[in-house]
Amino acid sequence: MTALIPFIVILIKIGVVIGGVLTVVAFMTWVERRGSALIQDRLGPNRVGPFGLLQPVADGLKFLFKEEIIPLEADKIIYHMAPLMIFTPALAIFAVIPFSTPFEIFGLKIEPLISDLNFGILYIIALSGISVYGIVLAGFSSGSKYPLIGALRSSAQLISYEIPMSLSILSVLIASDTFSLKGIISAQSSVNYGFIPNWFVFSQFIGFFVFLIAMFAETNRIPFDLPEAEAELVAGYHTEYSSMKFALFFLGEYAHMISASALITVLYFGGHTIPFVNLSGFGGAILGFISFSLKTGFFLWLFVWVRWTLPRFRYDQLMALGWKFLFPLSILNFVITIFFKWVNL
Q: Which residues bind other proteins (CB under 8 A)?
A: 3, 75, 78, 118-119, 122-123, 125-126, 128-130, 132-133, 136, 140, 148, 151-152, 155, 159, 162, 179
CB of 165 to other proteins, least distance (A): 12
CB of 147 to other proteins, least distance (A): 11
What's the rounded Cα separation, in Å, for the pair 5 and 13? 12
Nearer to other proteins, 56 or 89 (CB): 89
CB of 43 to other proteins, least distance (A): 43
Nearer to other proteins, 48 or 95 (CB): 95
Nearer to other proteins, 38 or 173 (CB): 173
Nearer to other proteins, 132 or 201 (CB): 132
| Secondary structure class of 275 (helix, strand, coil) | coil
Question: 313: which DSSP letter?
Answer: P
Helices (DSSP H) in the chain: which residue ranges? 5-39, 55-65, 76-92, 120-141, 145-176, 181-187, 200-203, 205-218, 230-233, 243-268, 281-307, 315-320, 327-342
CB of 148 to other proteins, least distance (A): 7
Nearer to other proteins, 96 or 285 (CB): 96
CB of 320 to other proteins, least distance (A): 18
CB of 337 to other proteins, least distance (A): 16
**Torsion, CA 177, CA 178, CA 183, CA 186, rounded to 10:** 10
Continuous segment of H or E residues that includes residue 196: strand 196-197
CB of 162 to other proteins, least distance (A): 8
- Max CA separation in the chain (angstroms): 66
| Distance from the Cα of residue 32 to its chain's centroid | 15
User: Angle at Cα 134 formed by Cα 222 and Cα 223, nearest 5°?
Assistant: 5
What's the rounded Cα separation, in Å, for the pair 169 and 178? 11
Contacts of 24 (CB under 8 A, 6+ apart): 258, 300
CB of 338 to other proteins, least distance (A): 14
CB of 120 to other proteins, least distance (A): 10
Question: Is residue 227 within 8 Å of residue 155, measured between CB atoms?
Answer: no
Nearer to other proteins, 58 or 78 (CB): 78
Nearer to other proteins, 73 or 104 (CB): 73
Question: 234: which DSSP letter?
Answer: T
Alpha carbon of 223 to those of 18, 142, 190, 227, 263: distances in Å? 28, 25, 35, 11, 20
Nearer to other proteins, 179 or 323 (CB): 179
Alpha carbon of 52 to those of 56, 79, 163, 302: distances in Å? 9, 34, 41, 21
Nearer to other proteins, 55 or 330 (CB): 330
Contacts of 160 (CB under 8 A, 6+ apart): 217, 319, 322, 323
Nearer to other proteins, 13 or 34 (CB): 13
| Secondary structure class of 243 (helix, strand, coil) | helix
CB of 295 to other proteins, least distance (A): 27
